[in-house]
A = this chain, B = another copy of it.
Amino acid sequence: MLNEDTKTVAHDCGDCPIRHRAVCARCETDELERLEEIKYYRNFEAGQTIIWSGDRMDFVGSVVSGIATLTQTMEDGRTQMVGLLLPSDFVGRPGRDGSPYDVVATTDMVMCCFRKRPFEEMMVATPHIAHRLLEMTLDELDAAREWMLVLGRKTAREKIASLLSIIARRDATLNLQPAQNRLVFDLPLTREAMADYLGLTLETVSRQISALKRDGVIELEGKRHVTVPDFSRLLDEAGDDTDGGLLV
């Protein structure tokens, strides 16, 4: 089983699609060489659980392609997604043994993993890694706080619009599309996963998506393929400051 997951195919860090955004972004050539020695790639299938809450983790790593979610679950089954991991995002926490969350692949995924102990040693030795990780963690903290506003104060319609605009924005920057008012992308989440992200039920998600479609804010082709004819309109529906800025 593990043998199937693990691929030792060596990619060159120089060609890596997430080279400029991941935890290694600031590394010099010699630092990259040392990283290459402790790295290995691992594939996960859609639906596969990467880490169970509470389990011991012996690696950390970066999402190379695909999407994963962090979720928390209460005893009675209520679940809340607390993080969405897109390519270049970091998984795991140096200095702590277990993850407090379930990490689940929602699409097929490739991860660039580092054995935890050697990585922690490298962090001490090469400040570039520690510095970049701090920067990324501060960004994640900002994103989490942004999301607290969504969860605590926005209506169901605003929540959906917020999620769509975040996915649209990240998708556009990743694919290096120019900032446009019309955007097209695929939803990487089921209605249920969206509900878990937004603190709603899947029925409410479905109703609000239908409503946004009915009102012309979005267009749907199938269940997943979304067209946003006017991005600033979507931002408006999300209740965000539309300080003019597109795709920052």
A33 to chain B, nearest CB (A): 22
**A contact face: mostly helix, strand, loop, or mixed:** helix
Asked if A1 is at the interface of the complex by the 8 Å CB criterion, the answer is no
Q: Are A148 and B74 in contact (CB under 8 A)?
A: no
Q: Which of the candidate stretches A12-20, A127-135, A169-177, A206-214 sits at the interface with the other chain?
A: A127-135
Asked if A56 is at the interface of the complex by the 8 Å CB criterion, the answer is no
User: Which partner residue on chain B sits nearest A134 by CB separation?
Assistant: B134
A101-B199 contact, Cβ under 8 Å, with A124-B127, A138-B93, A239-B74: no
Interface size class of chain A, counting residues whose CB lies under 8 Å from the partner chain: 35 or more
* Most chain B CB neighbours (cut-off 10 Å) among A75, A79, A130, A148: A148
Q: Which of the candidate stretches A139-147, A185-193, A222-230 sits at the interface with the other chain?
A: A139-147
Asked if A95 is at the interface of the complex by the 8 Å CB criterion, the answer is yes
Interchain Cβ contacts under 8 Å between A and B, 11 examples: A70-B145, A75-B241, A80-B148, A80-B149, A82-B145, A130-B131, A134-B137, A137-B141, A140-B141, A147-B148, A151-B151
